[in-house]
Structure 1
Amino acid sequence: MKYAFSTLGVPGLPVPDVLRLATAHGYHGVELRAHPEEPVHPGLGLVERADVAAEFKAAGVEILGIAGYARVAAPGDDGPVLDDMRSLVSLARDLGAPFVRVFPGGGTEQGAAEADATAARRLGAAARYAADAGVRILLETHDSHRTGADATRVLGTVGHRRVGALWDLMHTWLGGESVAETFAALSPYLGYVQVKDIASADDTTPLPLGSGVLPLEECVARLSAESWEGWLCWEYEKRWYEDAAPLPGLLGPGRELLSRLVTRSG
């Protein structure tokens, strides 16, 4: 397996500093949070995009994915959501990133069937230009569709190889789904896995990997048992929890823990 971390854990950090952290601690890649407050976002011009891609290539670090905020099941017109996805796909293409993350984001005023249909329709439309760009759009297990079973209701309807799943371990656990159940549901669609740790279902403040309640070891063991050789990406949500410990000092031990778990499972 390969290891990455998300820039959500180091909000606003310039690209050269992100790359120094990745290389210093043995991470193969970085998931870039695509938001206007970050150094890398869809508003970058072509020259700036080329510079970012060149920096990553020179450092020997891969751009795993572009973590966008399009909400594909949200109520409203399709146009703005499709425009958002198109801009994220274009950014990923220009940076050489294989994946784009999107959220479900279904509203409380919708029924599940309506939210599923909305998400499937939009993802199906976006799949066409994702295919042209050589990028895969991943629906994260999150908010209105937090379990693997929820996500596969949408993904099974879309039925396009350029649309898949991003398994956020915290959300499937909070949704009451076991690791085995999630893997069984998502394995035909799985792009990569976001790992993290928290104290409890009532306290989701990010913790160092292995120090909380999430079934991280079980997740890695299941992936290894199934001969899955993709990415584990540590999403440390420092951006939303100012009192959480700074991520840079945790990256080394976190990388070592993931490596031990993979070795033990293998």
Structure 2
Amino acid sequence: MNPRAFSTLGCPGAGLDEVVRLARTGPCTGIELRCSDDQLVHPELDSDEADRIAGALRRAGLAVPVLASYVQVAADGPDVVEQLARHIALAARLGAGQVRVFGGGAGLPKGRWERAVRHLAAAAPLAAAAGVGIALETHDEFLTGAEVAEVLEAVDSPAVGAVWDAVNPWRAGESPERTADLLGPWLRHVQLKDVASPTDLRPVLPGRGVLPLGDVLGQLRRLGYDGWISLEWERTWYPEAAPLAEVLPAFHRVLDAA
């Protein structure tokens, strides 16, 4: 059985005690920590507080598979590698296995692919030295497995892999089988969710929406993927969505039935 986690994206404003309590309501053994100014961990978190959080999670028997950063590796700026270095150092302090990164949003100037490759290649030795991976998510400018795989092939580092956000390649027209084939060599983490439709991304309970979750999980089995599967419940962006505590049982039912 794959180890299970949830993202703190689903419990905005929650403190450490509440995050631990949520994990204990079901068989989650990991917490995907969203790294943002309004969250439990953020880019300027000092070392003492990072150590306190890491220790509390460790004592609770909880791992941190991913530090979910908002670094845009295709951005056109002088400090992208510096941002990556800071997040890598924080991830190492927290005991996180990976730093999640994005390509970047719409409107980036030309040369997105080249900048992403250059920045990831420059940060890869830093990640390897820290014992932390960098994982590029299927998101925004690199929405599909094909787009992420093209970047990772060029970077060609074992320290740099992929996060498969199950919704994004599918809504872009890429089948789960195709995404699995493309990302298989680099797959480090999987984010599971369900939505109302390919054009209506409001979160719905896993198994109640239109995403072919059974196909996604079947492809992971085919790959022999034994890594983390994390529930990414986007209540931060959709505050009207149900509380995370009400959603976790549906997440576990989908995985148990696979």
TM-score, reference length from structure 1: 0.93
Report percent identity of matched pairs. 40
The yes-or-no answer on 1:66 pairing with 2:91 is no
For residues 255 and 120 of structure 1, the distance between their equivalents in structure 2, rounded to whole angstroms, comes to 36
| Partners of 1:10 and 1:238 within 8 A in 2 | yes
Work out the CA distance in 1 between the residues paired with 2:73 and 2:119: 6
What residue is the counterpart of 1:118 in the other structure?
115
Give the unaligned 5+ runs of structure 2.
none
Matched residue SS, 1:43 = coil
* 1:86 to 2:85 alignment: yes
Contact 2:207 2:250 in 1 (8 A): no
Residue equivalent to 1:199:
196
Counterpart residue number, 2:209: 212
Q: Aligned with 1:65: secondary structure?
A: strand
Q: CA-to-partner distance for each residue in 1:172-220, whole Å, 9 max, x for gaps?
A: 1111100110011100111011110001022101111100011111111
Q: How many residue pairs get matched?
A: 257
Name the residue aligned to 1:161: 158
SS in 1 for 2:164: strand
**Paired residue for 1:130?**
127
CA contact (8 A) 1:165 1:186 kept: yes
1:264 aligns with none
Distance 2:108 2:136 in 1: 21
In the alignment, structure 1 residue 259 sits paired with structure 2 residue 244: no
Displacement of 1:42 in angstroms is 2.4
**C-alpha distance in structure 2 between counterparts of 1:208 and 1:225, whole Å:** 25
Q: Residue by residue, what CA displacement relative to the aligned partner does 1:26-48 show, whole Å, maximum 9, x if unpaired?
A: 10101000001112122121111
- Residue 242 of structure 1 is matched in structure 2 by 239
Which residue in the other structure is 1:146 paired with?
143
- Structure 1 CA distance, aligned partners of 2:102 and 2:108? 17
Following superposition of structure 1 onto structure 2, how do residues 167-178 of structure 1 map, counting pairs within 5 Å?
A: 167-178=164-175
1:173-192 to structure 2, matched below 5 A, reads 173-192=170-189
Q: 1 CA distance for matches of 2:224 and 2:186?
A: 15
Separation in 1, partners of 2:165, 2:183 = 11
Local SS of the residue matching 2:57: helix
Q: Residue 106 of structure 2 contacts residue 140 of structure 2 at CA under 8 Å; is this kept in 1?
A: no
1:106, distance to aligned residue in structure 2 (A): 5.4
Aligned residue number for residue 95 of structure 1: 94
Answer yes or no: is the 8 Å Cα contact 1:149–1:185 preserved in 2. yes
- CA contact 2:65–2:97 (8 Å) conserved in 1: yes
Instruction: Give CA deviations for 1:81-129 in whole Å, capped at 9, x if unaligned.
Output: 1121111111110011110000001543544xx2111100000001111
Q: Which residue of 1 aligns with 2:37?
A: 36
Q: Deviations over 1:144-165 (max 9, x none)?
A: 1100000111111000000110
